[in-house]
Amino acid sequence: MKLKNYQLDVLAKVLNYPMTFKKSRVKNKFLTEVYQNIELMEKDRKVIIDKLCKKDNDKKPILKDNRFTFTDSNLEKFNKEYAILSKEEVELPNLSTEIITMIENSSVEMDDIKGDTLILEEILKPKSKEEKAV
């Protein structure tokens, strides 16, 4: 199954609940893949930041209120590049029916994933026949 990078964090949050040992092994194997993809996305985000943020004379990023600073044009470039990165598809071969069932049966409180419920719905919605064939 293919997911977008921005969906990975939500998936990890939803699957973070206690379960039986057998299910936990399946979940942990799957989450290892999810976390690896999140880590790759974070590395790519840092490359974009390093390329576009303001730097001091020593070529170190300038932080203001613990946040990277950008010129207006570079902030626009960053937002565009990050949007592209977020929407890149990731192949998760171990996203089985069992994992989907675990997501649907998750005991995570909806308050814990406020704002992420639409992303969760995207993950769980049935794929069209055209999407399945790709």
pLDDT tens column, 66-119: 999 999 999 999 999 999 999 999 988 767 777 777 777 776 665 555 566 667
For residue 4, the one-letter residue type is K
Provide the token pair at 103. 């997501």
Residue 49 structural domain: 2-133
pTM, full prediction: 0.73
Q: What is the pLDDT of residues 4-49, one digit of tens each?
A: 888 888 888 888 777 777 778 888 888 888 899 999 999 999 999 9
For residue 88, the one-letter residue type is E
> Which residues, including other chains, have CB under 8 Å from residue 34's CB and lie 6 or more apart?
8, 11, 12, 92
* Distance between CA atoms of residues 80 and 82, nearest Å: 6
Tell me which of 117 and 134 has the higher pLDDT. Answer: 117
* Distance between CA atoms of residues 69 and 83, nearest Å: 18
Which ranges of 53-128 would DSSP assign to H, the alpha helix?
Answer: 72-87, 97-104, 117-124
Domain tally for the chain?
A: 1
